[in-house]
Structure 1
Amino acid sequence: MNTKFNLLLFLSLALSQFVHAQEEYGRKLVKTLASDKFAGRGYVFQGDKKAAAFIAKEMKKSGLSPLGDSFMQPFNLPANVFPKAASVALNGSDLKIGANALIDAASPSVNGAFEVLPVNSNLNNLQNLKGLVLDKRFQGKAILLDEEAQLAHMKPEEWRRVVMTLMQEGQHAVLLVKTKAKFTWRAGTSQAKKPAVYIKDVNFDQPKNEIVLDITAYFQPQYSTQNVCGFLKGTGNSDSTIVITAHYDHLGAIGKKVVFNGANDNASGTALMLYLAQYYGKNKPKYNMIFLAFSGEESGLLGSKYYVANPRNELSKVKFLLNLDMAGTGDDGIQVVNGTIFTKAFDTMKAINAEKGYLPDVKVRGPMNRSDHAPFYEKGVPSFFIYTLGGIAAYHDICDRYETLPFTKFNGYANLLTDFIATF
């Protein structure tokens, strides 16, 4: 009786230590990748290069070999970056970047003081928009638009086109957008002629308002970045391959103090990919495995598109591809994109979860082209794009930090994936 109890206790403790080690490794990786040292893993302060070197080092430690001549696959992309701290002041009061003011990622440099003039006309009306562009009364001024009022007359995509038009054309020097929406940023892949600054929780209630801007932008049309590519030989004789991918890039920084750390998006997916590399380094897989960490996802899937155009493996030999993004929550389970296409694989994954209870739910979704599986899928590679659901709402903002990431179902998610891969 005691022997049986002791054995059960030993197995329980061993499993607990294993689970703890999974999350501990994931947390360690996310804490590093999402630290300010990596500058948001963008194209300023060599954030992408620091991240790529770290990922390659982790792959090598796990027993992976370079896929090709090197772990690194270099390619170029356009990047508009902000290498110096930006300042925005309204009527003599400094606004906090990321909280009360946010620079559009396509903005050029600007330095000066500008009178603020409101524009109240409906700019979904093309005549009104053309009139604003040509109106010389706004020459050299900062024009102020109320986003909420404009959205009463147009769809969000139409509003974005209006903003882009006014960043390229018009007599004004600066575009200000008063918004109530949550601040989110994006990767800048071009530089407009005029800067745009989003303002929130600020009143323009003076008889005469003045905005003072000091913004330094640097456009790099051919910035050299890199994918990171690792290979693990399988134990079988098959040349079929399982591919695990995650994008490691994020949005960078505005100066050194306003950093978009991207803990969930996608340091967490990168950490899960690297955990799987470590796991299979210790537990040799049946099939060959390839691990791809992409740069340029936030710039339009540029890293994965480059890889598919210049593959280091035969895409026709890929048995299945799993693309991991935002793996740090899971309160409501996971979403499986392409689950309606590859129904047998999805049903297998859902059945495993139903039996083992790893996650609250495994939800199905049809095709979408917004992550790095898409270029592979378009070439006929069977693939899932998976992301966790629920938990924190931080996304493309300064709040997506390691300290706020719960890792709710990291262990269960990892176990589901290894069980799923074992079915091939």
Structure 2
Amino acid sequence: MLPLGKPERPAPRPYAALPLGWAAVVLVLTLTPADKMPITPVWELLSFDTAAHAGVFLVLAGLSWFSLRRQRRWPTLALRAGRAALLSSIVFGGLIEVMQYNMALGRHGEWTDLLSDAIGAALAVGVATAGAARLGRRPPLRVSTWVGLLLAGAALGAWPAPVAAQDLVRARHTIKKLASPCLHGRGYVKHGEHKAAAYLRGRFRELKLQPLAPDYTQPFALDVNTFPGKLQLDVMPFGPLRRMPQAKHLQPGRNFIAAPNSGSGKLDWGSRLVRLDTLAFTDSLVRQRSIAQLTRLPGAVLLTARVESQLAHWPHLRQALETAAARITLVPKLTALLASEQSAQVKLLALPTAAAWPAATTVPNQMKSVHLEVEAKLIRQYQTQNLAAIVRGSVQPDSFLVATAHYDHLGLMGKSTYFPGANDNASGVALLLELAAHYARPENRPAYSVVFLLFGAEEAGLLGSTYFVAHPLVPLKSIKFLVNLDLLGTGEQGATVVNGKVFEAPYQRLLALNEAHHYLPALGARGRAANSDHFPFSEAGVPAFFIYTRGGSTAYHDVNDRPEALSLAGFAGAFGLVRDFLNELGAAR
């Protein structure tokens, strides 16, 4: 019998379930939609702010290093456990941020979170590697040590990150997120406004604001005309199709847009484009000829915005124009709007410089052919919502100061053209959230209750604010003052206060505050105007201002209203001015 040697030591268990299980927990929590997360202290353990990211990834990288060092299947990987754990943790963190950014979860991916992930992972790997080097050939660290690391990381994740009173970097991120393609212009195609609302509910939750309605949501419905499909316009000299290489393809959003009430329709190549003769307004014979021509026109009629405005005085000519298959109106600027009804006619708005438009129908070389296709969809009773939150007052909780902004915009037009709405009104939403962050801090708890309202369907005709006034979540008579925030992405020339000439005493307070602190270069006052969500409130007897900044970008209701076009020159000043104004009215204890 051969002598028995020392028995082989069994291979250590790698405990792979530890890092995999922790990664699964992190993935579930970070990808849970914000509007599905309960408002309970249970979730505060892993609030996933900046400190939380570092904490949970410290645990993830540490557990990964521990498991990789103990496994024996891949010796090289065990030797390079630190590098592998660090790299895999960072890649995993990056994947989470990408998914949060692109998925409609009400969460927001940030590069600063990825940086926090990397710092936490690097700290874990550094400590583990240094410890292993000092231990030399000693056995790997006990499982109990890693359980302690898990608890330490969880404690770090639970540590609250400080919230700045007004953070311009955070505000820019808010604007960028709301104006991003993944929210589809915050309109009604692909439920862009629902996705924006989910994101904003998440922001309310992060600030731990109290909801004024279940899940912060006040639902209502509207009718809206949308353009979810094809949107195409081509112009070419009239003649055989072999001249198609000379066709001018117009870009939606850049060269033309659909009129808000446009219907669906299609004109194939060879359809004539006829310009309405302006002599029809002064010469009866030309008018009769134009009516006869338009009545049997299978193509499109071209006219200018000025000519279109004169049609109200010529009903027979207007009726004949309505019978044409399509109408193209030349306008100096493409300004998109929304409508609650749909015409039977295709209606497009185009720039005069977009193509070589026909100057007259009687000149052969001026005759044009048009090819167009528009898919429109009228949605009846589309379900949308307002969002409402509150910070309860410590002295008079039944008296209310209100900050409002609308979060909706114009959405998609066609399959790829969207209206970002950075200034209108991602900027106002960003300022409202900064005010909410200020008053949510315990040291800034107001004496009066401060209500934060985000309205839907403002672009459809102030529908969200009108619905709220008809179905108030707080008594309107208890609202001491309301400040509506809209178009606040500029400020080089100061700001305008709508209703400043109506409520003169409060406006003088604003002026005094601005003169004392030099928040904005100038303040101007306007009278009564139905141009934003303050209007239904002031008409109902609630004292209200609408504040917007002036100067800088002039993009409005077009595809150029992008975050990078905004200077935010007056953003910090507007924040300080509104905060101090609300404090003087009762928000300060």
**TM-score scaled by structure 2?**
0.64
1:187 matches 2:338 = yes
CA distance in 2, matches of 1:222, 1:123: 41
Structure 1's 413 and 105: CA in aligned 2 closer, same or farther, altered over 3 A?
same
For 1:117, the equivalent position in structure 2 comes to 274
Which stretch shifts more, 107-116 or 71-80?
Answer: 107-116
Q: Deviations over 1:68-98 (max 9, x none)?
A: 2331111111111111241111113211112
Establish whether residue 99 from structure 1 lines up as the match of residue 254 from structure 2.
yes
Native 8 Å contact 1:86 1:216 kept in 2: yes
2:516 matched residue in structure 1? 355
Q: 1:37 aligns with which of 182, 186, 197?
A: 182
What SS does the corresponding residue of 1:32 show, helix, strand or coil?
A: helix
Task: Give the structure 1 partner of residue 369 of structure 2.
Answer: 210
* In structure 1, distance between residues paired with 2:553 and 2:400: 34
Mean CA deviation greater in 86-95 or 132-141 = 132-141
Q: Which runs of 5+ in 2 are unaligned?
A: 1-161, 237-246, 359-364
CA drift at 1:144: 1.3
The one-character-per-residue Cα deviations of 1:46-80 (angstroms, maximum 9, x if unpaired) are 01101111111111211211102331111111111
Structure with higher strand content: 1
| 2:549 corresponding residue in structure 1 | 388
Q: Which is greater in Rg?
A: 2
- Mean Cα deviation higher: 370-379 or 195-204: 195-204
The answer on whether the counterparts of 2:165 and 2:438 sit within 8 Å (CA) in structure 1 is no
| Partner of residue 78, structure 1 | 223
Q: CA deviation at 1:226?
A: 0.7
Q: 1:133 to 1:244 in 2, by over 3 A?
A: farther
Q: 1:290 aligned to 451, 466, 481, which one?
A: 451
Deviation per residue, 1:195-218 (Å, 9 max, x gap) = 112222111354531111121111
Aligned counterpart, 1:48: 193
1:260 matched to 2:419? yes
- Larger RCO: 1 or 2 (CA < 8 Å, sep 6+): 1
- The yes-or-no answer on 1:219 pairing with 2:370 is no
DSSP 3-state at the match of 2:394: coil
8 Å CA contact retained: 1:140, 1:171: no
Letter in 1 for 2:418: V
Listed as ranges, the gaps of 5+ residues in structure 1 are 1-16
Compare 334-343 and 259-268 and name the one that shifted more. 334-343
Q: How does 1:6-405 map to 2 (within 5 A)?
A: 22-91=167-236, 92-113=247-268, 114-121=271-278, 132=290, 135=293, 138-147=296-305, 150=307, 170-179=322-331, 181-200=332-351, 201=353, 202-204=355-357, 206-282=365-441, 283-405=444-566
TM-score of the two chains, using structure 1 as the length reference: 0.88
Instruction: Report the CA distance shift for 1:340/1:173 in structure 2 as closer, same or farther (over 3 A).
Output: same
**Could you tell me which residue of structure 2 aligns to residue 12 of structure 1?**
none
In the TM superposition, residue 193 of structure 1 has moved relative to its aligned partner by 1.1
How many Å separate the matches in 2 of 1:289 and 1:176?
A: 48
Q: 1:222 to 1:288 in 2, by over 3 A?
A: same
Structure with more helix by fraction? 2
Q: Measured at CA, do residues 134 and 324 of structure 1 come closer, stay the same or move farther in structure 2, by a change above 3 Å? A: farther
Tell me, in whole angstroms, the C-alpha distance in 1 between the residues paired with 2:517 and 2:546: 21
Give percent identity, aligned residues only. Answer: 35
What amino acid is the match of 1:142?
A
Distance 1:124 1:284, change over 3 A: farther
Partner of 1:14: none
Task: State the alpha-carbon separation in 2 of the partners of residues 393 and 258 from structure 1.
Answer: 19
* CA distance, structure 1, for counterparts of residue 484 and residue 191 of structure 2: 25
Q: Distance in 2 between matches of 1:161 and 1:298?
A: 29
Q: Secondary structure at the match of 2:584?
A: coil
Count of residue correspondences = 400
